[in-house]
Amino acid sequence: MEPKVAIVSGGSRGLGQAIVSALLGAGYRVATFSRSKTDIIRQWEQDQNLSEQFLFRTVDATDRTGLRAYIKDVHDRMGRIDVLVNNVGLAHDGVLALYSDTYLDKVIDVNLKSLIVLTRACVRIMLMARSGRIVSISSILALRGYNGLTVYSASKAAIDGFTRSLAREIGPRNITVNAIAPGYLRTEMTHGLDEAQTRQIVRRTPLGRLGEPCDVVPLVPFLCSDEARFITGQTFVVDGGLTC
């Protein structure tokens, strides 16, 4: 059977890197992009065992034309698109009254608009194939607010609504749409937290620690698998119990 093809946005570091690694390990052919290469991307590109299994392109998530061209390139080269993992994200904190238009546009463009553009392009291919899996990375901040992250929270809450509506829209074509809402993970996205904030989060988390990418990643291959074929329109919280 021909390997399935998965696209992972923002797969060069953090949670995205871990998702790419897991899907490669599960036998998928994986295409990913980010604004720049990292050491792990260079390593995967130089690995002869992955020469037919891995594809990276430098793409800015805010470039709609570039995103559409990227999807076409992946489809032309790999012949199919079975899975889309919307992972790329940008967090910028600041109280709303002082929040700049520049960062307002940037957070919404990266976290929401790029996701919609990517998903629309992939859905057109999946509809013709009458099959597909879409998984988007949301956040517990879509469910529970946090000071200084109103715009980020809004962008993630929009992903949850998008997931539910799209699941109804394309479910009849055997395409599932789900989201994963991680808690606070020990990645670049939480490096801005000071020690007091980190201690407070850990204290309020029943499992008593920040999450790691490996706590979230196993859910992605499952939601992309045949075993999850009757699961759609859901947001799965992975937060160590913080929101329970």
Q: What are the tens digits of pLDDT across the range 159-184?
A: 999 999 999 999 999 999 999 999 99
3-state secondary structure of 22: helix
CATH number of 5-238: 3.40.50.720
The answer on pLDDT for 192 being more than 70 is no
State the chain's mean pLDDT as an integer: 95
* Ramachandran angles phi, psi of 82, nearest 5°: -100, -30
Angle at 89 between CA 14 and CA 126, to 5 degrees: 100
CA dihedral 182, 62, 135, 139 (to 10 degrees): 20
Q: Is 152 in the active site?
A: yes
Looking up tokens 């430098």 gives: 58
Percentage above 90 pLDDT, the chain: 88
Q: What are the tens digits of pLDDT across the range 18-58?
A: 999 999 999 999 999 999 999 999 999 999 999 999 999 99
Question: How far is the C-alpha of 185 from the C-alpha of 191, rounded, in Å?
Answer: 10
Pairing label, strands 29-34, 5-9 = parallel
Of 28, 70, 152, 184, which one is the catalytic site residue?
152
Cβ atoms 176, 122 nearer than 8 A:
no
Q: Is 228 exposed, middle or buried (0-12, 13-18, 19+ CB in 10 A)?
A: middle
Question: How far is the C-alpha of 123 from the C-alpha of 91, rounded, in Å?
Answer: 26
Looking up tokens 């609504």 gives: 161
What's the confidence (pLDDT) of residue 75? Answer: 98
What's the confidence (pLDDT) of residue 147? Answer: 85
Q: What are the tens digits of pLDDT across the range 53-103?
A: 999 999 999 999 999 999 999 999 999 999 999 999 998 889 999 999 999
- pTM for this predicted structure: 0.95
189: confidence class by pLDDT, cuts 50, 70, 90: low
Looking up tokens 């995103």 gives: 67
What's the confidence (pLDDT) of residue 74? Answer: 98
Q: What are the tens digits of pLDDT across the range 202-221?
A: 999 999 999 999 999 999 99
3-state secondary structure of 11: coil
What's the confidence (pLDDT) of residue 146? Answer: 83
Cβ atoms 19, 11 nearer than 8 A:
yes
Question: How far is the C-alpha of 10 from the C-alpha of 28, rounded, in Å?
Answer: 17
User: Which one, of 120, 122, 153, lies nearest residue 139 by Cα?
Assistant: 153
What's the confidence (pLDDT) of residue 44? Answer: 97
CA–chain centroid gap for 213, Å, is 12
Per-domain boundaries in the chain: 5-238
Cβ atoms 96, 147 nearer than 8 A:
no
Mean pLDDT, residues 102-131: 98
CA–chain centroid gap for 132, Å, is 16
CA dihedral 19, 21, 26, 29 (to 10 degrees): 90
